[in-house]
Amino acid sequence: MRFTDGSAGDADYATIGAGYTRYRQPEPLIYERIEKALGDARTVLNVGAGAGSYEPLDREVVAIEPSASMRSPRPRHLVRAVAGVAAKLPYPDRYFDASMATFTVHQWKNLQAGLAEMRRVTKGPVVILTCDPDDVNRFWLSEYAPEVLATEARRYPAMLVIKQILAGTVDIATVPIPLNCKDGFNEAYYGRPEKLLETGARLACSAWSLIDQSIARSYVAHLSRDLQNGSWDSKYGHLRSQPNFEGSLRLIVSAI
């Protein structure tokens, strides 16, 4: 499928990207983990960079993003993103000290080529933030929006597949999600269910845009009813004060 703004995956960011940066801000605790994984790299390639979340501020960064709608709202303090896709990176072998890709590999049409290209142009760590499809349904939203989470699980590459493509020494770690996570992916609202009643919050999680919208509305109505009558809180109310949630979020680090 081709989109007018160049979006290379299955989601049309010309449609859903307008309020993206309002909901998808970098979470400091996740940012710290990515910074640590990048080590002492001075030059960093950010592939599928989107609006720039998690790009380091104290290093030389090159950002690649196919969607014009996602390149345009990048904050002014970040470098301008270059139009391009993961499967064809226009850089020499081992050109960057490190490379990173956050919440993007599930959008790539050719995962094998994209990861191979990242590894080719990188002399040090390749750092990927993504979700484990085997653990997506651990989240309570599976009870309210099963097709949304089933869509997510189908899109996310298996951890073993990523590990095999990257080869070498690959570490996969679970990333705890804090209660007031600033980055509004679905699991970020594990203890703040009311946020998922907001259209903007849902659109900032692309899987919501990939299901029939009449079904999506029924899911929202179900959650709204259960929040009003107390059913959600009777089952999951303890999550409102749980400091973090270990769900499907993973940080993958491939070292040479």
Domains and CATH numbers, the chain: 13-255 (3.40.50.150)
Determine the Cα–Cα distance for residues 189 and 196; give it in Å rounded to an integer.
7
**Rounded to the nearest 10 degrees, what angle do helices 213-229 and 146-155 cross at?**
120
State residue 15's pLDDT score: 57
Is the pLDDT at 1 greater than 60? The verdict is: no
pLDDT band of residue 7 (cuts 50, 70, 90) is very low
- Minimum mean pLDDT range among 2-16, 63-77, 208-222: 2-16
Is the pLDDT at 10 greater than 90? The verdict is: no
Determine the Cα–Cα distance for residues 236 and 172; give it in Å rounded to an integer.
28
The DSSP 8-state label assigned to residue 86 in this structure reads T
Percent of the chain whose pLDDT exceeds 70? 92
Percent of the chain whose pLDDT exceeds 90? 82
> Could you write out the DSSP letters of every residue in 156-197?
SPPHHHHHHHH-SEEEEEE-PEETT-SB-SGGGGTT-GGGGG
Provide the token pair at 216: 């999506």
Run of H or E including 99: strand 98-102
Is the pLDDT at 17 greater than 60? The verdict is: no
Is the pLDDT at 3 greater than 50? The verdict is: no
Report the predicted TM-score, pTM, of the whole model to 2 decimal places.
0.91
pLDDT band of residue 167 (cuts 50, 70, 90) is confident
Is the pLDDT at 88 greater than 80? The verdict is: yes
State residue 50's pLDDT score: 87
